[in-house]
Structure 1
Protein backbone atom coordinates (compact mmCIF):
# COMPACT_ATOMS: atom_id res chain seq x y z
CA UNK A 1 0.00 0.00 0.00
CA UNK A 2 1.13 3.53 -0.70
CA UNK A 3 1.39 6.05 2.12
CA UNK A 4 -1.76 7.90 1.10
CA UNK A 5 -3.69 4.64 1.13
CA UNK A 6 -2.46 3.88 4.66
CA UNK A 7 -3.36 7.37 5.85
CA UNK A 8 -6.81 6.96 4.30
CA UNK A 9 -7.24 3.61 6.05
CA UNK A 10 -6.37 5.18 9.40
CA UNK A 11 -8.74 8.06 8.76
CA UNK A 12 -11.56 5.75 7.72
CA UNK A 13 -11.04 3.29 10.59
CA UNK A 14 -10.68 6.01 13.25
CA UNK A 15 -9.48 3.27 15.61
CA UNK A 16 -6.05 1.67 15.84
CA UNK A 17 -6.06 -1.40 18.05
CA UNK A 18 -2.90 -1.56 20.18
CA UNK A 19 -1.73 -5.13 20.74
CA UNK A 20 0.88 -5.51 23.47
CA UNK A 21 1.21 -9.00 24.93
CA UNK A 22 3.78 -11.17 26.70
CA UNK A 23 3.58 -13.98 24.15
CA UNK A 24 3.46 -13.77 20.35
CA UNK A 25 0.78 -16.46 20.06
CA UNK A 26 -1.50 -14.48 22.34
CA UNK A 27 -0.75 -11.31 20.38
CA UNK A 28 -1.89 -13.05 17.19
CA UNK A 29 -5.09 -14.26 18.85
CA UNK A 30 -5.81 -10.77 20.18
CA UNK A 31 -5.17 -9.26 16.77
CA UNK A 32 -7.48 -11.78 15.12
CA UNK A 33 -10.20 -11.05 17.68
CA UNK A 34 -9.93 -7.35 16.84
CA UNK A 35 -10.12 -8.14 13.13
CA UNK A 36 -13.17 -10.34 13.72
CA UNK A 37 -14.76 -7.35 15.43
CA UNK A 38 -14.22 -5.16 12.38
CA UNK A 39 -11.05 -3.24 13.30
CA UNK A 40 -8.70 -3.09 10.34
CA UNK A 41 -5.80 -0.99 11.67
CA UNK A 42 -3.55 -2.77 14.17
CA UNK A 43 -0.48 -1.62 16.07
CA UNK A 44 1.78 -4.44 17.26
CA UNK A 45 3.94 -3.08 20.07
CA UNK A 46 7.53 -4.24 19.72
CA UNK A 47 7.69 -4.88 23.44
CA UNK A 48 5.83 -8.05 22.44
CA UNK A 49 8.35 -10.92 22.15
CA UNK A 50 8.94 -11.74 18.47
CA UNK A 51 6.70 -8.81 17.60
CA UNK A 52 8.25 -8.58 14.14
CA UNK A 53 7.06 -12.11 13.40
CA UNK A 54 3.56 -11.12 14.49
CA UNK A 55 3.67 -8.14 12.13
CA UNK A 56 4.92 -10.34 9.31
CA UNK A 57 2.08 -12.83 9.81
CA UNK A 58 -0.61 -10.14 9.98
CA UNK A 59 0.75 -8.26 6.97
CA UNK A 60 -0.42 -11.16 4.81
CA UNK A 61 -4.05 -10.70 5.92
CA UNK A 62 -6.23 -9.08 3.26
CA UNK A 63 -7.81 -5.81 4.25
CA UNK A 64 -5.67 -5.35 7.36
CA UNK A 65 -3.24 -2.46 7.81
CA UNK A 66 -0.61 -3.41 10.36
CA UNK A 67 1.91 -1.12 12.01
CA UNK A 68 4.65 -1.36 14.60
CA UNK A 69 4.52 0.41 17.94
CA UNK A 70 7.19 1.41 20.47
CA UNK A 71 9.71 2.02 17.69
CA UNK A 72 12.59 3.82 19.39
CA UNK A 73 15.44 3.89 16.86
CA UNK A 74 16.05 3.76 13.09
CA UNK A 75 17.41 0.21 13.23
CA UNK A 76 14.18 -1.07 14.74
CA UNK A 77 12.23 1.07 12.28
CA UNK A 78 14.03 -0.56 9.36
CA UNK A 79 13.42 -4.06 10.74
CA UNK A 80 9.71 -3.32 11.25
CA UNK A 81 9.37 -1.99 7.71
CA UNK A 82 11.06 -5.10 6.33
CA UNK A 83 8.63 -7.22 8.35
CA UNK A 84 5.70 -5.52 6.64
CA UNK A 85 4.74 -2.62 8.93
CA UNK A 86 2.95 0.11 7.00
CA UNK A 87 3.02 2.69 9.82
CA UNK A 88 5.33 3.18 12.78
CA UNK A 89 4.43 4.66 16.16
CA UNK A 90 6.76 5.88 18.86
CA UNK A 91 6.22 7.16 22.40
CA UNK A 92 8.55 10.10 21.64
CA UNK A 93 10.02 12.08 18.74
CA UNK A 94 13.05 10.59 17.01
CA UNK A 95 13.92 12.43 13.80
CA UNK A 96 15.92 9.49 12.47
CA UNK A 97 12.93 7.18 12.80
CA UNK A 98 10.77 9.72 10.95
CA UNK A 99 13.35 9.99 8.18
CA UNK A 100 13.49 6.20 7.88
CA UNK A 101 9.72 6.19 7.39
CA UNK A 102 9.94 8.91 4.74
CA UNK A 103 12.69 7.05 2.93
CA UNK A 104 10.52 3.94 2.59
CA UNK A 105 7.13 5.57 2.10
CA UNK A 106 5.85 4.43 5.49
CA UNK A 107 3.57 6.52 7.72
CA UNK A 108 5.32 8.00 10.75
CA UNK A 109 3.41 8.66 13.99
CA UNK A 110 5.80 9.88 16.70
CA UNK A 111 4.58 10.60 20.21
CA UNK A 112 4.45 14.08 21.69
CA UNK A 113 3.31 15.66 24.93
CA UNK A 114 4.02 19.40 24.58
CA UNK A 115 3.59 22.02 21.84
CA UNK A 116 7.38 22.06 21.41
CA UNK A 117 7.42 18.31 20.81
CA UNK A 118 4.54 18.59 18.34
CA UNK A 119 6.40 21.25 16.34
CA UNK A 120 9.62 19.21 16.49
CA UNK A 121 7.74 16.21 15.08
CA UNK A 122 6.21 18.30 12.30
CA UNK A 123 9.56 19.84 11.37
CA UNK A 124 11.05 16.34 11.13
CA UNK A 125 8.31 15.34 8.67
CA UNK A 126 5.85 13.38 10.82
CA UNK A 127 2.63 12.42 9.08
CA UNK A 128 0.55 12.19 12.26
CA UNK A 129 1.43 13.17 15.83
CA UNK A 130 0.45 10.75 18.59
CA UNK A 131 -0.59 12.69 21.70
CA UNK A 132 0.64 10.47 24.50
CA UNK A 133 -0.30 9.66 27.17
CA UNK A 134 -3.67 11.06 26.19
CA UNK A 135 -5.27 10.43 29.59
CA UNK A 136 -2.81 12.85 31.19
CA UNK A 137 -3.60 15.52 28.61
CA UNK A 138 -7.30 15.36 27.84
CA UNK A 139 -9.23 16.42 24.73
CA UNK A 140 -9.28 20.10 25.69
CA UNK A 141 -5.48 20.18 25.78
CA UNK A 142 -5.26 18.70 22.28
CA UNK A 143 -7.89 21.11 21.02
CA UNK A 144 -5.90 24.03 22.44
CA UNK A 145 -2.71 22.89 20.71
CA UNK A 146 -4.56 22.41 17.43
CA UNK A 147 -5.69 26.05 17.39
CA UNK A 148 -2.23 27.55 16.61
CA UNK A 149 -1.14 24.42 14.70
CA UNK A 150 -3.99 23.75 12.25
CA UNK A 151 -1.60 21.89 9.95
CA UNK A 152 -1.08 19.14 12.54
CA UNK A 153 -2.96 15.84 12.46
CA UNK A 154 -3.34 14.11 15.83
CA UNK A 155 -3.90 10.63 17.19
CA UNK A 156 -4.58 10.47 20.95
CA UNK A 157 -3.38 7.24 22.55
CA UNK A 158 -3.44 6.03 26.13
CA UNK A 159 -6.66 6.34 28.09
CA UNK A 160 -9.22 6.05 25.28
CA UNK A 161 -12.26 3.98 26.30
CA UNK A 162 -15.59 3.17 24.69
CA UNK A 163 -17.27 5.62 27.07
CA UNK A 164 -15.02 8.62 26.37
CA UNK A 165 -14.39 7.77 22.69
CA UNK A 166 -16.48 10.56 21.09
CA UNK A 167 -14.89 13.26 23.23
CA UNK A 168 -11.43 12.71 21.77
CA UNK A 169 -12.42 13.84 18.28
CA UNK A 170 -11.56 17.48 18.73
CA UNK A 171 -9.80 19.69 16.17
CA UNK A 172 -7.14 17.87 14.21
CA UNK A 173 -7.87 14.38 15.56
CA UNK A 174 -8.45 11.77 12.85
CA UNK A 175 -8.17 8.54 14.85
CA UNK A 176 -7.39 7.17 18.31
CA UNK A 177 -5.23 4.36 19.63
CA UNK A 178 -6.98 1.90 21.95
CA UNK A 179 -5.14 -0.69 24.03
CA UNK A 180 -6.12 -2.08 27.41
CA UNK A 181 -9.82 -1.14 27.35
CA UNK A 182 -10.10 -3.19 24.15
CA UNK A 183 -7.73 -6.11 24.77
CA UNK A 184 -7.69 -6.59 28.56
CA UNK A 185 -9.88 -9.72 28.50
CA UNK A 186 -7.01 -11.57 26.80
CA UNK A 187 -5.57 -12.09 30.28
CA UNK A 188 -8.43 -14.49 30.95
CA UNK A 189 -8.41 -15.99 27.48
CA UNK A 190 -11.74 -14.42 26.57
CA UNK A 191 -11.12 -13.42 22.96
CA UNK A 192 -14.83 -13.30 22.25
CA UNK A 193 -15.08 -10.33 24.61
CA UNK A 194 -12.37 -8.57 22.61
CA UNK A 195 -14.35 -9.11 19.42
CA UNK A 196 -17.50 -7.78 21.06
CA UNK A 197 -15.70 -4.69 22.35
CA UNK A 198 -14.09 -4.15 18.95
CA UNK A 199 -17.55 -4.10 17.39
CA UNK A 200 -18.58 -1.39 19.85
CA UNK A 201 -15.59 0.73 18.92
CA UNK A 202 -16.28 0.24 15.21
CA UNK A 203 -19.89 1.33 15.72
CA UNK A 204 -18.78 4.38 17.70
CA UNK A 205 -16.27 5.23 14.97
CA UNK A 206 -18.98 5.06 12.32
CA UNK A 207 -21.01 7.63 14.26
CA UNK A 208 -17.94 9.86 14.52
CA UNK A 209 -17.21 9.89 10.80
CA UNK A 210 -17.85 13.43 9.64
CA UNK A 211 -15.76 15.20 12.30
CA UNK A 212 -12.74 12.99 11.70
CA UNK A 213 -13.03 13.43 7.95
CA UNK A 214 -13.07 17.21 8.31
CA UNK A 215 -9.90 17.00 10.38
CA UNK A 216 -8.15 15.12 7.58
CA UNK A 217 -9.14 17.23 4.57
CA UNK A 218 -5.42 17.67 3.72
CA UNK A 219 -5.25 13.93 2.93
Structure 2
Protein backbone atom coordinates (compact mmCIF):
# COMPACT_ATOMS: atom_id res chain seq x y z
CA UNK A 1 0.00 0.00 0.00
CA UNK A 2 1.32 3.42 -0.91
CA UNK A 3 2.45 5.79 1.83
CA UNK A 4 1.27 9.33 2.43
CA UNK A 5 2.82 12.38 0.84
CA UNK A 6 1.12 15.19 2.72
CA UNK A 7 2.58 15.06 6.22
CA UNK A 8 0.43 15.86 9.24
CA UNK A 9 1.88 18.56 11.51
CA UNK A 10 0.85 18.46 15.15
CA UNK A 11 2.06 22.01 15.76
CA UNK A 12 -0.54 23.19 13.22
CA UNK A 13 -3.30 21.10 14.77
CA UNK A 14 -2.43 22.29 18.28
CA UNK A 15 -2.84 25.93 17.24
CA UNK A 16 -6.56 25.21 16.82
CA UNK A 17 -7.51 21.60 17.66
CA UNK A 18 -10.51 21.36 15.33
CA UNK A 19 -10.96 18.97 12.42
CA UNK A 20 -13.28 20.73 9.96
CA UNK A 21 -15.24 18.12 7.98
CA UNK A 22 -15.82 19.31 4.42
CA UNK A 23 -18.49 17.11 2.85
CA UNK A 24 -20.03 17.21 -0.63
CA UNK A 25 -18.65 20.52 -1.86
CA UNK A 26 -17.37 21.12 -5.36
CA UNK A 27 -13.75 21.94 -6.09
CA UNK A 28 -14.89 25.44 -7.06
CA UNK A 29 -16.67 25.90 -3.72
CA UNK A 30 -13.66 24.54 -1.81
CA UNK A 31 -11.46 27.09 -3.60
CA UNK A 32 -13.63 29.84 -2.09
CA UNK A 33 -14.13 28.26 1.36
CA UNK A 34 -10.56 27.27 2.24
CA UNK A 35 -8.87 30.69 1.97
CA UNK A 36 -11.40 32.19 4.44
CA UNK A 37 -11.09 29.10 6.64
CA UNK A 38 -7.32 29.59 6.81
CA UNK A 39 -7.67 33.35 7.26
CA UNK A 40 -9.92 32.74 10.28
CA UNK A 41 -7.14 30.63 11.88
CA UNK A 42 -8.24 27.05 11.16
CA UNK A 43 -5.52 24.54 10.39
CA UNK A 44 -6.99 21.08 9.77
CA UNK A 45 -9.48 19.78 7.20
CA UNK A 46 -11.01 16.36 6.60
CA UNK A 47 -12.69 15.25 3.38
CA UNK A 48 -14.93 12.18 3.88
CA UNK A 49 -13.82 9.56 1.37
CA UNK A 50 -17.46 8.67 0.65
CA UNK A 51 -18.41 12.22 -0.37
CA UNK A 52 -18.61 13.55 -3.93
CA UNK A 53 -15.29 13.90 -5.81
CA UNK A 54 -13.42 13.12 -2.56
CA UNK A 55 -10.15 11.81 -4.03
CA UNK A 56 -9.99 14.60 -6.59
CA UNK A 57 -10.79 17.19 -3.93
CA UNK A 58 -8.10 15.88 -1.55
CA UNK A 59 -5.53 15.99 -4.38
CA UNK A 60 -6.45 19.57 -5.22
CA UNK A 61 -6.42 20.70 -1.58
CA UNK A 62 -3.00 19.14 -1.01
CA UNK A 63 -1.73 20.94 -4.11
CA UNK A 64 -3.23 24.32 -3.23
CA UNK A 65 -3.18 24.36 0.58
CA UNK A 66 -0.83 21.54 1.66
CA UNK A 67 1.71 24.03 3.02
CA UNK A 68 -0.85 25.71 5.27
CA UNK A 69 -3.35 23.02 6.30
CA UNK A 70 -3.38 19.47 7.60
CA UNK A 71 -5.46 17.66 4.97
CA UNK A 72 -6.88 14.22 5.69
CA UNK A 73 -9.60 11.77 4.74
CA UNK A 74 -12.57 10.69 6.84
CA UNK A 75 -15.26 7.98 6.75
CA UNK A 76 -12.54 5.39 6.01
CA UNK A 77 -13.99 1.98 6.90
CA UNK A 78 -11.67 -0.54 5.20
CA UNK A 79 -8.34 -1.00 3.41
CA UNK A 80 -9.68 -0.06 -0.07
CA UNK A 81 -10.92 3.25 1.37
CA UNK A 82 -7.54 3.75 3.03
CA UNK A 83 -5.72 3.05 -0.24
CA UNK A 84 -7.85 5.60 -2.06
CA UNK A 85 -7.26 8.20 0.67
CA UNK A 86 -3.49 7.73 0.74
CA UNK A 87 -3.23 7.70 -3.05
CA UNK A 88 -4.98 11.07 -3.04
CA UNK A 89 -2.40 12.42 -0.56
CA UNK A 90 -4.27 12.37 2.75
CA UNK A 91 -1.97 13.17 5.67
CA UNK A 92 -4.22 11.75 8.38
CA UNK A 93 -7.11 9.29 8.53
CA UNK A 94 -10.42 9.43 10.39
CA UNK A 95 -12.76 6.45 10.68
CA UNK A 96 -16.32 6.08 12.02
CA UNK A 97 -15.53 2.59 13.40
CA UNK A 98 -12.66 0.50 14.73
CA UNK A 99 -11.07 -1.40 11.85
CA UNK A 100 -7.93 -3.06 13.17
CA UNK A 101 -6.32 -3.45 9.74
CA UNK A 102 -6.76 0.23 8.91
CA UNK A 103 -5.45 1.31 12.32
CA UNK A 104 -2.43 -0.99 12.25
CA UNK A 105 -1.46 0.08 8.73
CA UNK A 106 -1.60 3.76 9.73
CA UNK A 107 0.37 3.12 12.94
CA UNK A 108 3.05 1.19 10.99
CA UNK A 109 3.31 3.98 8.41
CA UNK A 110 3.33 6.73 11.06
CA UNK A 111 0.09 8.26 9.73
CA UNK A 112 -2.05 9.81 12.47
CA UNK A 113 -5.29 7.84 12.79
CA UNK A 114 -8.42 9.07 14.59
CA UNK A 115 -10.65 5.96 14.84
CA UNK A 116 -14.32 6.25 15.71
CA UNK A 117 -15.49 4.63 18.95
CA UNK A 118 -18.35 5.17 21.36
CA UNK A 119 -18.44 2.89 24.41
CA UNK A 120 -15.69 3.02 27.05
CA UNK A 121 -14.52 -0.43 25.87
CA UNK A 122 -14.26 0.73 22.24
CA UNK A 123 -12.52 3.98 23.21
CA UNK A 124 -9.92 2.09 25.28
CA UNK A 125 -9.42 -0.48 22.50
CA UNK A 126 -8.90 2.18 19.80
CA UNK A 127 -6.33 3.92 22.02
CA UNK A 128 -4.45 0.67 22.73
CA UNK A 129 -4.32 -0.08 19.00
CA UNK A 130 -2.43 3.17 18.47
CA UNK A 131 -4.97 5.95 17.86
CA UNK A 132 -3.49 9.47 17.80
CA UNK A 133 -6.83 10.57 19.26
CA UNK A 134 -10.10 8.67 19.58
CA UNK A 135 -13.04 10.14 17.70
CA UNK A 136 -16.04 9.78 20.01
CA UNK A 137 -18.84 9.27 17.50
CA UNK A 138 -21.67 10.04 17.37
CA UNK A 139 -21.17 12.55 20.18
CA UNK A 140 -24.34 14.56 19.49
CA UNK A 141 -26.86 12.26 21.15
CA UNK A 142 -24.71 11.62 24.22
CA UNK A 143 -23.52 15.20 24.62
CA UNK A 144 -21.01 16.94 26.82
CA UNK A 145 -21.81 14.99 29.99
CA UNK A 146 -20.89 11.74 28.27
CA UNK A 147 -17.41 13.09 27.42
CA UNK A 148 -17.00 14.19 31.04
CA UNK A 149 -18.02 10.71 32.21
CA UNK A 150 -15.63 8.99 29.78
CA UNK A 151 -12.71 11.15 30.90
CA UNK A 152 -13.03 10.13 34.55
CA UNK A 153 -11.80 6.53 34.13
CA UNK A 154 -9.94 7.14 30.84
CA UNK A 155 -7.98 10.26 31.78
CA UNK A 156 -4.94 9.57 29.60
CA UNK A 157 -6.91 8.99 26.39
CA UNK A 158 -7.22 11.92 23.97
CA UNK A 159 -10.81 12.37 22.83
CA UNK A 160 -12.13 14.07 19.69
CA UNK A 161 -15.95 14.33 19.98
CA UNK A 162 -17.57 14.45 16.55
CA UNK A 163 -21.21 14.77 15.52
CA UNK A 164 -23.53 17.49 16.77
CA UNK A 165 -20.69 19.89 17.65
CA UNK A 166 -21.58 23.55 17.13
CA UNK A 167 -20.46 27.03 18.10
CA UNK A 168 -22.88 26.78 21.06
CA UNK A 169 -21.36 23.68 22.69
CA UNK A 170 -17.76 23.63 21.41
CA UNK A 171 -16.32 25.31 24.51
CA UNK A 172 -18.29 22.95 26.79
CA UNK A 173 -16.73 19.92 25.11
CA UNK A 174 -13.24 21.29 25.82
CA UNK A 175 -14.19 22.06 29.42
CA UNK A 176 -15.44 18.45 29.71
CA UNK A 177 -11.95 17.21 28.79
CA UNK A 178 -11.93 16.84 25.00
CA UNK A 179 -8.54 17.48 23.37
CA UNK A 180 -10.06 18.35 20.00
CA UNK A 181 -13.32 18.48 18.05
CA UNK A 182 -14.58 17.19 14.73
CA UNK A 183 -17.06 19.67 13.25
CA UNK A 184 -19.06 19.35 10.04
CA UNK A 185 -22.22 21.40 9.44
CA UNK A 186 -21.56 23.34 12.65
CA UNK A 187 -18.66 24.97 10.77
CA UNK A 188 -19.54 24.68 7.09
CA UNK A 189 -23.01 26.23 6.95
CA UNK A 190 -24.64 24.70 3.89
CA UNK A 191 -26.95 27.67 3.37
CA UNK A 192 -24.06 30.15 3.25
CA UNK A 193 -22.12 27.89 0.88
CA UNK A 194 -25.13 27.36 -1.37
CA UNK A 195 -25.72 31.12 -1.56
CA UNK A 196 -21.99 31.83 -1.97
CA UNK A 197 -22.01 34.17 1.05
CA UNK A 198 -18.28 33.90 1.66
CA UNK A 199 -18.12 37.03 3.84
CA UNK A 200 -20.76 35.67 6.21
CA UNK A 201 -19.03 32.29 6.25
CA UNK A 202 -15.77 33.99 7.22
CA UNK A 203 -17.55 35.84 10.05
CA UNK A 204 -18.91 32.51 11.28
CA UNK A 205 -15.42 30.95 11.18
CA UNK A 206 -13.97 33.91 13.09
CA UNK A 207 -16.70 33.65 15.77
CA UNK A 208 -16.13 29.89 16.07
CA UNK A 209 -12.38 30.45 16.38
CA UNK A 210 -12.95 33.00 19.15
CA UNK A 211 -15.03 30.49 21.13
CA UNK A 212 -12.25 27.88 20.86
CA UNK A 213 -9.53 30.37 21.78
CA UNK A 214 -11.44 31.23 24.95
CA UNK A 215 -12.09 27.61 25.81
CA UNK A 216 -10.14 27.64 29.07
CA UNK A 217 -12.07 30.53 30.59
TM class, shorter-length: 0.7 to 0.9
Contact 2:15 2:43 in 1 (8 A): no
Gaps of 5+ in 2: none
Q: TM-score, normalised by structure 2?
A: 0.86
Q: Identify the match of residue 205 of structure 1 among 200, 205, 212.
A: 212
**Higher mean displacement: 190-199 or 136-145:** 190-199
Q: Identify the match of residue 98 of structure 1 among 94, 100, 103.
A: 103
SS of equivalent residue, structure 1 residue 177: strand
> Any residues of structure 2 matched to 1:1-219 within 5 Å, and which?
6-21=9-24, 23-60=26-63, 61=65, 62-170=67-175, 172-184=177-189, 185-208=192-215
Contact 2:165 2:182 in 1 (8 A): yes
Cα RMSD between the aligned structures?
2.4
CA distances 1:168-211 after superposition (whole Å, capped 9, x unpaired): 01454211111112212212222322222111122222222x69
Contact 2:56 2:88 in 1 (8 A): yes
Cα distance between partner residues in 2 of 1:160 and 1:154: 13
Cα distance between partner residues in 1 of 2:11 and 2:152: 23
Structure with greater helix share of residues: 1
Cα distance between partner residues in 1 of 2:8 and 2:21: 20
Q: TM-score, normalised by structure 1?
A: 0.86
SS of equivalent residue, structure 1 residue 181: coil
